[in-house]
Homo-oligomer: A and B are copies of this chain.
Amino acid sequence: MDKQAHDVECNGLIKIIKDNYKMMSKGQKLLAKYTLDNYSKVAFMTASKLGETVGVSESTVVRFANALGYSGYPKFQDALQELIKTKLTTVERVEMSNNDYSTDSLILEKVLKDDIDNIKETLDYLSEDTYEQAVNAIFSARKVYIMGLRSSIYVAKYLGYYLSYILDDVKIIRMDMGEPVEQMIKIGEGDVFISISFPRYSKKTLQVVNFARGRGAKVIAITDSHNAPISKVSDVVVTVKNNMISFIDSLVPAFSVANALVIGVAMREKDDIKSYFNELENIWKEFEIFE
């Protein structure tokens, strides 16, 4: 077994494969071996391509996934992708995406369809209860703090931009105003801290969330899984499918969830925001901002 397979050992999937190895059919054994040695490739191969490569039928591939306890090949592949997400380097991710992205028309189609699929999956997995808790917490917060590091900063700013239309006190943590915690000296009970965090998880995010929580603020995590570092220390975990597109972590589903949070809060104070927008319309007219 090569170095790669060794790395995988810590993950559940590899154990499952090994535990089931003896009882596998000959074709399944071939698939098991190939997967252990090439898991990062298999994570992105179609069932038929994998079958072809190993020399078995597509239905053997599907049964292999079932035998490992997955309801289908896509779920098996999800597990593999989950596995590599935090382990794969950007370089490997770029290499891996070569086949999918061989022509411009394929790229355009694949990227947009992946984003669609991931919003769908986000909708499937995000419970109404969780969503409602998040909206309620934001709506009744004294002050809302929003933080996102690296590319997540754009989700934080977008969410903050629209929440500011509705709520009186929204503060986006800005990295150029000193350390995040310095901007949160006055955070405490009654406040809400929204942390947006996707793989690869920045170390700093967990520190800051712990600080907010220690001060008594309610923490809403917008992250990819209940296993994310900040999930364990958050009051509400809004899961959003993280979309790995070559070296980009597409935040499209996160922006869509931000939209839903804003509308949810807005619908709770419809009358206020109508009068607010009335004023805004007057301003726009007076200052001739639009065409």
The answer to whether A177 and B202 have CB atoms under 8 Å apart is no
Contact B288 A203 (CB under 8 A): yes
Beta-carbon contact of A263 and B107 below 8 Å: yes
Q: How many copies does the complex hold?
A: 4
Cβ of A277: which chain B residues have Cβ within 8 Å of it?
89-91, 94, 247
A115: which of B126, B150, B256 is its contact (CB, 8 Å)?
A: B256
Question: Which of A11-19, A53-61, A64-72, A156-164 lies at the interface with chain B?
Answer: A156-164
Q: Is A291 positioned at the interface, with any CB of B under 8 Å from its CB?
A: yes
- Interface pair B91/A274, CB less than 8 Å apart: yes
The answer to whether B108 and A116 touch across the interface, beta carbons within 8 angstroms, is: no
Interface flag for A45 (CB, 8 Å): no
Q: Is A252 within 8 A of B255, CB to CB?
A: yes
Contact digits for A277-291, partner B, Cβ 8 Å, 1 yes 0 no: 111110110011111
| Interface residue A266 (Cβ < 8 Å from any Cβ of B) | yes
Q: Mark A175-214, 1 if CB is under 8 A from B, else 0.
A: 1111101110110000000000000111100110001000
Q: Is residue A122 contacting chain B, with contact meaning CB distance below 8 A?
A: yes
Output the nearest chain B residue to A153 by Cβ-Cβ distance. Answer: B176
Residues A122 and B112 in contact, CB atoms below 8 Å apart? yes
A132 to B109, CA, bound (A): 12
A135 touches B186 (CB 8 A): no
Of A20-28, A97-105, A217-225, the stretch lying at the interface with chain B is A97-105
Are A266 and B112 neighbours in the complex by a CB distance under 8 Å?
Answer: no
Contact of A177 among B161, B251, B283 (CB under 8 A): B161
CB distance from A206 to the nearest CB of B (A): 7
CB-defined contacts of A274 to chain B, threshold 8 Å: 91, 94-95
Residue A120 is within 8 A (CB to CB) of chain B in the complex: yes
- Which residue from chain B places its CB closest to the CB of A89 in the assembled complex? B281
Please pick, from B104, B229, B248, B279, the residue contacting A259 in the complex, using a CB distance under 8 A.
B248
Given contacts A108-B264, A112-B256, A229-B291, 19 further A-B contacts (CB under 8 A): A91-B274, A94-B277, A104-B132, A104-B135, A108-B128, A108-B131, A111-B260, A116-B120, A154-B157, A154-B161, A168-B186, A175-B176, A185-B279, A201-B291, A202-B291, A203-B288, A247-B277, A248-B259, A252-B256
